[in-house]
C-alpha cells in the first residue's frame, strides 16, 4: 500500500508543530507522501512548511475552502492508493500510520479505518466511536472520559463513522463514493461519507492503535460558535436529504424537517424581543372571531407590504443561526439532489440494513427538544416500524 497523508491548515503557522512535525518519522524517510494544504491561511504556512519540512508537498489555496474542500485539494495532489487524514491540531503517535494500513489490510471489506483521538495529554478520550442521530447530527461517544474508564473499540470493529481528523481510506473507495461533499465546508462530511460507503456495501472499521493526540476544538474555535452552529444545522439537513434512500426519506423526512422547524421556534423564544415578535397573533390570546384589534398585527402588515419595518433586528443568535442554516440548505437543494442521485446509482445496501447495524436514536440536544420528542405529535410523524430509540443527552455523552 502506498500511503498519502493529508493535513489541511487554516490557521497560524504554529500548527505545523503539531500534525506536520509528528509525521516526520514517515515523511522524512519517504515511507509516506505527506501533503500540507495551506487553506487560505492568514500567514505564510506554505513558506514555513517548505522551509522546515522540505520532505512535504505543499499545496496552496488563496481562499479557505473549508475542511472538505481542503482535503479535496490534497487528494488531487496525492499519488497514494491509501489516503490518511490528520487534523492540523493533532499529533500522530508512534505506529500511527502502520496501524491504519495493517487494519485495512486485515479487513478487505473495509473502505476506511477510524483512528483513535485522545486529548492532548493522551489520557482522555476525544474520538473513539461516533453516534449519528435520526436527523443526521453526530456525537463523539465517551468524549472527555479517562481512557481507563471506557471500553476501546477492537481493531476491525465496524463503526458508524470515522472522524475526519484521524482516518484512512482506500483511494478507490474515496473516488467511487465521491469523497467529502465540498458544499458541507466543515462538519459532518465524515458522517455523510461513511453513510455513502455503507450504502455501497463497504464498511468503516476501528483502528484503535492508530492514535493521535488532539488539542480539541483548537481549529474550530477560530470559526466561532455562531458560524459553527450554522454549519451543524445546515449540514445535518443536507446529509440526511443527500443520503437517505427513498424508504428512509419517506419514513423520517417529515420528522426531520418538523424537528428543525420546532427548534427554530424554540430558539426564537429564548430572547424576549424575538419571542414577542414571532408569537402567533392568532393564538389563544387573540379574538376567537378573528375580528377586532390583534396586538402587533399593524406592524406585521407593514412588514408584509414593505412599509416602515418594525420590530427587532435579528442579532447573531440561535434564531438567526437556524434561519441561515435553512437558507443554505435551500440554496444547495439542487446540488443535494444531484449528490443523492449519484449515490442511488451505486447503492447496494438499503438504509434499513445500515440502521440495523448502526442505530440512530432521538437525542434531545437543544431547548424544547425534550418536550417535542416526548409529544404525541412527534411520535405520529414516524411509522411504527421505523421508530428510533430515545436516549437522554447525558446517556449519549457518558456512554
Tell me if 181 sits within 8 A of 68, measured CB to CB: yes
pLDDT at position 275, please? 76
**Domain edge (last residue) among 187, 222, 257:** 222
State pLDDT tens for residues 112-121.
999 999 999 9
Q: Residue holding cell 442521485?
A: 341
Could you tell me if 45 and 165 lie in one domain? yes
Could you tell me if 205 and 303 lie in one domain? no
pLDDT at position 303, please? 47
Tell me if 230 sits within 8 A of 324, measured CB to CB: yes
Least confident of 33-37, 163-167, 304-308, 377-381: 304-308
For residue 142, give the C-alpha cell: 465517551
Could you tell me if 64 and 164 lie in one domain? yes
Q: State the total domains in the chain.
A: 2
For residue 301, pLDDT over 50 is answered with: no
State pLDDT tens for residues 133-175.
999 999 999 999 999 999 999 999 999 999 999 999 999 999 9
Q: How confident is the model at residue 359 (pLDDT cuts 50, 70, 90)?
A: very high
For 241, half-sphere exposure in the C-beta direction (CA atoms, 13 angstrom radius) is 21
For residue 30, pLDDT over 90 is answered with: yes
pLDDT at position 284, please? 59
- For the residues of 174-207, what is the DSSP string, one character each? HHHHT-S-GGG-SSSHHHHHHHHHHHTT-EEEEE
For residue 221, pLDDT over 80 is answered with: no
CATH code (residue 34): 3.90.550.10
Could you tell me if 103 and 187 lie in one domain? yes
Could you tell me if 99 and 111 lie in one domain? yes
State pLDDT tens for residues 201-218.
999 999 999 999 999 765
φ, ψ of residue 200 to 5 degrees: the values are -90, 5
Q: How confident is the model at residue 270 (pLDDT cuts 50, 70, 90)?
A: confident
Could you tell me if 15 and 146 lie in one domain? yes
Q: How confident is the model at residue 222 (pLDDT cuts 50, 70, 90)?
A: low
pLDDT mean across residues, the chain = 90
**Domain edge (last residue) among 206, 222, 238:** 222
pLDDT at position 350, please? 98
For residue 293, pLDDT over 90 is answered with: no
What's the domain range around 29?
A: 3-222
For residue 90, pLDDT over 60 is answered with: yes
For residue 396, pLDDT over 90 is answered with: no
Could you tell me if 177 and 268 lie in one domain? no
Could you tell me if 231 and 109 lie in one domain? no
- Three-class secondary structure of residue 61 per DSSP: strand
Tell me if 237 sits within 8 A of 133, measured CB to CB: no
**Domain edge (last residue) among 161, 193, 222:** 222
Could you tell me if 285 and 216 lie in one domain? no
pLDDT at position 287, please? 41
For residue 276, give the C-alpha cell: 414577542
d(CA 376, CA 379): 5
For residue 81, pLDDT over 90 is answered with: yes
Q: How confident is the model at residue 267 (pLDDT cuts 50, 70, 90)?
A: confident
Q: How confident is the model at residue 219 (pLDDT cuts 50, 70, 90)?
A: low
Could you tell me if 41 and 127 lie in one domain? yes
- Three-class secondary structure of residue 299 per DSSP: helix
Could you tell me if 232 and 131 lie in one domain? no
Rounded to two decimals, what is the model's pTM?
0.90
Could you tell me if 315 and 379 lie in one domain? yes
Amino acid at each position: 500500500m502506498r500511503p498519502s497523508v493529508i493535513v489541511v491548515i487554516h490557521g497560524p503557522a504554529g500548527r505545523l508543530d503539531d500534525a506536520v512535525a509528528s509525521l516526520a518519522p514517515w515523511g522524512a524517510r519517504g515511507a509516506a507522501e505527506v501533503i500540507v494544504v495551506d487553506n487560505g491561511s492568514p500567514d505564510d504556512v506554505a513558506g514555513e512548511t517548505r522551509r522546515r519540512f522540505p520532505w512535504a508537498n505543499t499545496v496552496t489555496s488563496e481562499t479557505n475552502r473549508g475542511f472538505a474542500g481542503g482535503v479535496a485539494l490534497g487528494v488531487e495532489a496525492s499519488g497514494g492508493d491509501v489516503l490518511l487524514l490528520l487534523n492540523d491540531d493533532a499529533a500522530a503517535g508512534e505506529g500511527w500510520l502502520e496501524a491504519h494500513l495493517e487494519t485495512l489490510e486485515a479487513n478487505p471489506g473495509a473502505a476506511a479505518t477510524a483512528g483513535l483521538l485522545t486529548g492532548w495529554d493522551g489520557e482522555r478520550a476525544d474520538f473513539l466511536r461516533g453516534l449519528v442521530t435520526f436527523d443526521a447530527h453526530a456525537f463523539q461517544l465517551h468524549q472527555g472520559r479517562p481512557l481507563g474508564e471506557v471500553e476501546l473499540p477492537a481493531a476491525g470493529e465496524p463503526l458508524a463513522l470515522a472522524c475526519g481528523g484521524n482516518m484512512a481510506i482506500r483511494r478507490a473507495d474515496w473516488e467511487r463514493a465521491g469523497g467529502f461533499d465540498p458544499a458541507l465546508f466543515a462538519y459532518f462530511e465524515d458522517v455523510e461519507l461513511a453513510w455513502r460507503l455503507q450504502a455501497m456495501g463497504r464498511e468503516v472499521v476501528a483502528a484503535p492503535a492508530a492514535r493521535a493526540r488532539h488539542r480539541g476544538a483548537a481549529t474550530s474555535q477560530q470559526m466561532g460558535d455562531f458560524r459553527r452552529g450554522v454549519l451543524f444545522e445546515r449540514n445535518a439537513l443536507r446529509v440526511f436529504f443527500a443520503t437517505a434512500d427513498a424508504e428512509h426519506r419517506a419514513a423520517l423526512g417529515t420528522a426531520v424537517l418538523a424537528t428543525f422547524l420546532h427548534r427554530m421556534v424554540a430558539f426564537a423564544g429564548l430572547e424576549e424581543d424575538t419571542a414577542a415578535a414571532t408569537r402567533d397573533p392568532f393564538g389563544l390570546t387573540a379574538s376567537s372571531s378573528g375580528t377586532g384589534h390583534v396586538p402587533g398585527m399593524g406592524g406585521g402588515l407593514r412588514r408584509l407590504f414593505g412599509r416602515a419595518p418594525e420590530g427587532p433586528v435579528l442579532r447573531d443568535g440561535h434564531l438567526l443561526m437556524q434561519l441561515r442554516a435553512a437558507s443554505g440548505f435551500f440554496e444547495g437543494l439542487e446540488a443535494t439532489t444531484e449528490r443523492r442521485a449519484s449515490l442511488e446509482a451505486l447503492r447496494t445496501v438499503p438504509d434499513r440494513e445500515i440502521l440495523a447495524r448502526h442505530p440512530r436514536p432521538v437525542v434531545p440536544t437543544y431547548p424544547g427538544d425534550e418536550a417535542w420528542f416526548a409529544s404525541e405529535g412527534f411520535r405520529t410523524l414516524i411509522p411504527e416500524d421505523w421508530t428510533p430509540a430515545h436516549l437522554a443527552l447525558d446517556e449519549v455523552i457518558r456512554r
